[in-house]
Amino acid sequence: MLVRRLDGPEASPRAQLPASLRGRGRTLKVERLWPGWLVVAVQAGLVIFVLILWEIAAREQWIDAFFWSSPSKIYDTFRAFAESGGAYTDTWFTFRSTMFAFVIGTLLGAVIGLSFWWSRNYARIAQPFLICFEATPKLALAPLIVLIFGIGLASKVAIGVALTVVVTTLTTFSAVRLVDLDSQKLMYSLGATRWQVFTKLVVPSVLPWIISSLRINIGLALTGAVIGEFIASERGLGRQIMYASQVYDIALIWVAVAILAVLSIAMYATIGQVERILLKGLMHGSNPQ
């Protein structure tokens, strides 16, 4: 019996293809990520470019400086705002309102969402009301909330909670419904109580979902605080924007908007870091040692 060896070029399937079809293979090209410092440099360059172009356009009257202001005038207004102490006071007021609303709304929403696990009928009754409340524009409720809670910190926190609580509740409820039923049955068959199943299985399974909603909630809490300051407030960046719009101080509006932007980026980045730490801790905690 003759045995034909296939250890040469004939062994390759590619060698069996016609010459016209060879070399047509495609490989997935993965873009190489830039270093972090380069990304930051490009972002800073874009901001500087826009500011320079904005300043030139205002001085050359390509745009109406009355409506658009200019970076140099905005900087002068910011210096005066900071020297008067208003920048610190108003920023601190808005920050406090945001953080209180964020913490209360997240915790309250998580508790309500987790409570739906205990009764399916209770969840079916409450869910339409939650969706209705979520669909209602909170700006329409803001004047009523200000009348009830006053123009101080409480009304800003209440509006922020109204924006964050339903999102966290619905997210938690969705996670509760995805908890593995077989795992629950297994724990019951081993003699676990309902409370043990809830604390040992349901809560750990839902925690990653709650943590993933933190970034959304921090933005909603800030939005609620600013909306409350628009309606009526003793202080705050939203109040400064409303005051500046009434006296046509466009530069002051840009100053308050810029401070809000920096504040939101700082809080978003901080919450993102906290989210990564918590999720990493949960993943490590789930691994048996």
User: What's the pLDDT score for residue 46?
Assistant: 94
Angle at 113 between CA 111 and CA 115, to 5 degrees: 70
User: What's the pLDDT score for residue 56?
Assistant: 93
8-state DSSP, 200? I
- Taking the domains of the chain in order of start, what are their residue ranges? 36-65, 69-286
d(CA 71, CA 58): 9
User: Given the structure tokens 């933190």, which residue do they identify?
Assistant: 214
User: What's the pLDDT score for residue 288?
Assistant: 38
Closest CA to 168 of 129, 228, 114, 121: 114
d(CA 238, CA 91): 10
Q: In a structure prediction context, what are the per-residue pLDDT tens digits for the chain, which is 289 residues long?
A: 444 554 555 555 555 555 555 555 566 677 788 888 888 899 899 999 999 999 999 898 898 888 888 899 999 999 988 888 888 999 999 999 999 999 999 999 999 999 998 888 888 888 888 888 888 887 888 888 888 888 888 989 999 999 999 889 988 988 888 888 888 888 888 888 889 888 888 888 898 888 888 888 998 999 989 998 888 888 889 889 998 888 888 999 999 999 999 999 999 888 888 888 877 766 655 543 3
| C-alpha 229, offset from chain centre | 21
Backbone conformation region of residue 69, classed left if phi is above 0, alpha if psi is from -120 to 50, else beta: left
User: What's the pLDDT score for residue 150?
Assistant: 85
Residues 6+ apart with CB under 8 A from 125: none
* Homologous superfamily, domain 69-286: MetI-like (1.10.3720.10)
User: What three-state secondary structure class fits 85?
Assistant: coil
Closest CA to 148 of 91, 231, 242, 243: 231
Assigned token pair, 226: 């600013």
* Alpha-carbon distances of 56 from 33, 65, 111, rounded to whole Å: 34, 11, 54
Check if the beta carbon of residue 168 is closer than 8 Å to that of residue 105: yes
Angle at 164 between CA 160 and CA 166, to 5 degrees: 130
Alpha helices in 60-83 (DSSP H): 65-68, 71-83
* Alpha-carbon distances of 1 from 4, 8, rounded to whole Å: 10, 20
Residues 6+ apart with CB under 8 A from 236: 90, 93, 94, 97, 156, 225, 226, 229
Residues 6+ apart with CB under 8 A from 199: none
Residues 6+ apart with CB under 8 A from 144: none
Check if the beta carbon of residue 220 is closer than 8 Å to that of residue 167: yes
